[in-house]
Amino acid sequence: METLYRKYRPQKFSDLIGQDHIRKVLEGELATGRIAHAYIFSGPRGVGKTTVARIFARALNCENRKDGASEPCQTCDACKDILQGSAMDVIEIDAASNTGVDHVREHIIENSRFAPTRLKYKIFIIDEVHMLSGSAFNALLKTLEEPPAHVVFMMATTELHKVPDTIISRCQRFAFLRIELPAIVNLLKTVVQAEKIKVAPAVLESIARASDGCPRDAESLLGQILALDDKEITEAQASLVLPQTYRSRVREFITYISARKSKESVKYIHTLVNDGVQLSAFVKETVVVLREILLAKLEHGAQAVPEDFGEAEREIIAKFEITRLMKAVENMNQARRDLDRADIAQLPLELAALDLCFDEVKEKQPQVLPQV
């Protein structure tokens, strides 16, 4: 059975999500015919680097693409061969498995000297290019300096800092971004509709959050959940597969801090300990949610609150001042670092919470000026 991320892999530029800054430039180059000889795609894993390289390879060699157009037709022999992985002129290389200079000389340098057997361009897609050895990079550099007119290099990397500047300077560089939460949720909705399976909206949002901006991870996780083989997936069923999350508890805890309820905050921490909650994971998620609130207020105004907070919680969080939010992020981040070496497991979290609850008292203390 084909995995979801392969089944629903974008096949055209219009299918891409969250990388408009890259799509528009590549479409413009295709429409005008101003093609570079080398590209380097950098960014986190699973956000579409290799996918874009394959779409670009098809568009470059598409037999039916008209002047001024950018999308591959998907129906000509060239598009079909590249889609099926049988095109001899599109060579994909995993640099992580082939790091040596001999492989570069044999499969890239020597191969690039010959004209394409059938397509217009000979394409080299080099994945995880940062894994090449120093001597392999030096050998590749000579080809990049004077590339044959019929060759295009497309290199992908998750660690751009490991690629020599001499290589980067001879390429068009594109930085891929993590995909925002709403875009991944919409992607997952499209997939479940196509699969004709009902999935609770809260489950889709949990999957999107767990994917950390990576559509491939989101689709893989959704595939595991759909393997439960039910026509309707509930939160209870999905919890068997989804990574454990404390988001609902975090929201309640932050609400106590925001309202300066010191007694309730400490009691809630004791409840977490008694329930066997992993404090390090809880505090880490607390930092994430506090940061989301802070960014929401900075972008949308002082009253802004993330959508998943309840109505009663929203009224309290709306009054959470930006300066206190900044301090809350700092306090919780420090508590996260202190947890591992604390003699009393929950003490760093208790102190961080109390400091936030009583900071108003400190601010109201009269300031004593020194005697002159």
Domains of the chain: 4-175 (3.40.50.300), 181-238 (1.10.8.60), 247-358 (1.20.272.10)
Question: Which of 8, 38, 10, 37 lies closest to 23 in space, CA to CA?
Answer: 10
Query: Which residues in the chain show pLDDT less than 50?
Result: 361-370, 372
Sign of CA dihedral 49, 55, 59, 65: negative
Residue 227's pLDDT is what?
85
Q: Torsion over CA of 266, 269, 274 and 278, rounded to 10 degrees? A: -160
In the structure encoding, which two tokens stand for residue 315, read together? 């009224």
CB 135 within 8 A of CB 104: no
Long-range CB contact pairs, 323-328, < 8 A, 24+ = 324/258, 324/356, 324/359, 325/290, 325/293, 325/294, 325/297, 326/294, 327/356, 327/359, 328/254, 328/257, 328/290, 328/356
Distances (CA, A) of 300 to 25, 182, 290, 303, 305: 29, 16, 15, 8, 9
Q: What is the number of other CB atoms lying within 10 angstroms of the CB of residue 283?
A: 26
Residue 232's pLDDT is what?
82
Residue 365's pLDDT is what?
47
Percent helix, strand, coil in the chain, to 5, is 55, 10, 35
Residue 129's pLDDT is what?
94
CB 114 within 8 A of CB 151: no
